[in-house]
Amino acid sequence: MNIYYAILVHVVWFLSTYFVVVFMLALFYNRKKLYDSPEFRKNDKLPKISIIVPAYNEEESIADCIKSLKLIDYPKSLFEVIIVNDGSIDRTADIVREHTGKNIILVDNSKNKGKAKSLNQGISLAKGSYIACMDADTIVPSDILRKTLPYFKDEKVGSVTVSVEVRSAKNFLQRIIRLEYILGLSLFLKIFSLFNCVHVTPGPFSVYRKRLLDKIGYFDPENITEDLEIAYRIHKSGYKIANCMSTAVHTVTPHDMKGLYRQRRRWYSGALLTLWQHKDILAKNKTGLFGYFIPFNYALIASGLGLFVFSTYLLFSNIFRNLSYYSLTNYNFFSNMTFDFDLLAVSMFLFFGLSGILGMILLVTYSLGIARSSLERKPSLYFGYFILFFMYQAFWLASFFIVLMRRKVRW
């Protein structure tokens, strides 16, 4: 018996189960209202909005992005698109130039400044009372502004996020990530918004109140996850982040493990650095539930990682020990193998593990049942999702290491 392992199992089980149960209850109580969103009334004055699109070497996707922006159902005089070419060395600027016009403006920077600085440059030129920031590899639906802007009728709303879905998932990895986005960047954010705990305004598409941005400053150019960092400042300034599930943007995802690792390394390292940057909310919480949600979330991540490391160590030490035993019996693998399952020899750890896995399956299945998605629910996707979940633990570890070693993470 290892008392530390037993304590860790209890802590992780309790925190994760509590989290899942709160989530499921919130989902259950609000299941019929998740896709409801406020609307403009006939006599409402439509506000002016500026859409900022920073682009760096986006020659393959920028045209589709602009085409989708042109199809937005909103008076052309009331929205402008500012595309900031961030020193691309490909044909991005030329492609954008083909589309520029009255409400599509190109800002052509010769040098690469980074996403946050490009966004800030665009915001400083914007004339709208609301600012939508989006990625150049994202496609928006035509109703995006009519669905999101009415949320700002609530003066406490500082930002509105939308569902983010995967555009053309071709391989198995992308299909798993599609499942992950449907949950993590759509449904989960919606539920978090019910608690006023949205911790990120996703880069693919989020709308901000310009007055709020002027108050809190624009995006932090030093932060590699500027969309995460600004969410902390929005909460600190007393504003809410709303989520709109009735419309969704589509974005591209990494198509291989290397790309996925690079993306998650940036996300997770950025999340840790942002937490450090805003550590004051841990000591003195003035952000309501968000101030409890963040420490709870990171306590769960940290203890989960501890359990992952401990379990991996135990697993491999058992494998090595058994191999060393088998070396004594000339690797006679079959003689000591017993195929009779004895339920009584099962330890309590297995029940904790099984209940955790069952809880996750239940959460994913129930969430997908509620989400309006055309995703095929194949068992292989579930399996892949769980494998990916364990891989993310390794990515988190790598990110911890990077942050501790003060290594530079780039886009």
Partner 1 sequence: MVIKKNIFVYAAVITVLLLASIYSLNFYLNSQRENAVVGRMEEILDEYQEIQALSLMNDVFGGNITCLSLENTLSYMDKTLWDTGVKIDRYREATEQFSIDPFYQEQKRKFNRNEVVYFSMLKSMKEQCNFNQTVILYFYKKKEDCPDCDAQAFVLTDLNKEIDPEIALFSFDSNLDLASVRTLGLFYNITDFPCIVVEEDTYCGLKNKNQVADILCRYREHSICQ
Instruction: Give CA–CA dist 159/215, Å, rounded.
Output: 13
Residue showing tokens 């709109």: 244
Residue 6 sits in the site that holds partner 1 (CB under 8 A): yes
Instruction: Give CA–CA dist 247/335, Å, rounded.
Output: 60
Q: For residues 100 and 322, which CB has a smaller minimum distance to partner 1 in the complex?
A: 322
Q: For residues 26 and 409, which CB has a smaller minimum distance to partner 1 in the complex?
A: 26
Q: For residues 221 and 306, which CB has a smaller minimum distance to partner 1 in the complex?
A: 306
Residue 22 sits in the site that holds partner 1 (CB under 8 A): yes
Helix (H) or strand (E) holding 332: none
Residue 341 sits in the site that holds partner 1 (CB under 8 A): no
Neighbours of 208 (CB within 10 A): 26
Q: For residues 43 and 327, which CB has a smaller minimum distance to partner 1 in the complex?
A: 327
Q: Which long-range contacts (CB under 8 A, 24 or more apart) does 255-259 make?
A: 255/170, 255/171, 255/173, 255/174, 256/173, 257/173
Residue 332 sits in the site that holds partner 1 (CB under 8 A): yes
Residue 335 sits in the site that holds partner 1 (CB under 8 A): yes
Q: For residues 257 and 323, which CB has a smaller minimum distance to partner 1 in the complex?
A: 323
Residue 14 sits in the site that holds partner 1 (CB under 8 A): yes
Q: For residues 195 and 310, which CB has a smaller minimum distance to partner 1 in the complex?
A: 195
Burial of 175 (0-12, 13-18, 19+ CB in 10 A): buried
**Within positions 228 to 287, which residues make up the interface with partner 1, using CB under 8 A?**
none
Least distance in Å: CB of 30 to partner 1? 5
Residue 329 sits in the site that holds partner 1 (CB under 8 A): yes
**Within positions 342 to 361, which residues make up the interface with partner 1, using CB under 8 A?**
342-349, 351-352, 355
Q: For residues 310 and 400, which CB has a smaller minimum distance to partner 1 in the complex?
A: 310
Site string for partner 1, 157-196 (x = CB under 8 A): -------------------------------------xx-
Instruction: Give CA–CA dist 248/224, Å, rounded.
Output: 24
Residue 33 sits in the site that holds partner 1 (CB under 8 A): yes
Q: For residues 107 and 198, which CB has a smaller minimum distance to partner 1 in the complex?
A: 198
Instruction: Give CA–CA dist 388/174, Å, rounded.
Output: 11
Q: For residues 18 and 411, which CB has a smaller minimum distance to partner 1 in the complex?
A: 18
For partner 1, which stretch binds (CB under 8 A), given 10-18, 65-73, 267-275, 302-310? 10-18
Instruction: Give CA–CA dist 273/344, Å, rounded.
Output: 47
CA 210 to chain centre: 23
- The tokens of 364 are what? 């994913």
Q: How many binding residues for partner 1 (CB under 8 A)?
A: 38
Instruction: Give CA–CA dist 69/74, Å, rounded.
Output: 10
Residue 25 sits in the site that holds partner 1 (CB under 8 A): yes
Q: Return the ∠ at Cα 265 (arms to 4 and 286), rounded to 5°.
A: 70
Site string for partner 1, 59-88 (x = CB under 8 A): ------------------------------
- At position 255, the amino acid (one-letter code) is H
Site string for partner 1, 191-230 (x = CB under 8 A): ---xx-----------------------------------
Phi, psi angle pair for 28, to nearest 5°: -65, -50
Closest of 20, 8, 7 to residue 308, by C-alpha: 8
Neighbours of 146 (CB within 10 A): 17
Please list the alpha-helical segments (H only) found in 30-76. 62-70
CA 224 to chain centre: 14
**Within positions 286 to 315, which residues make up the interface with partner 1, using CB under 8 A?**
none
Chain residues binding partner 1 by CB under 8 A are 1, 6, 13-14, 17-18, 21-22, 25-26, 29-30, 33-34, 36, 194-195, 321, 324-325, 327-330, 332, 335-336, 342-349, 351-352, 355
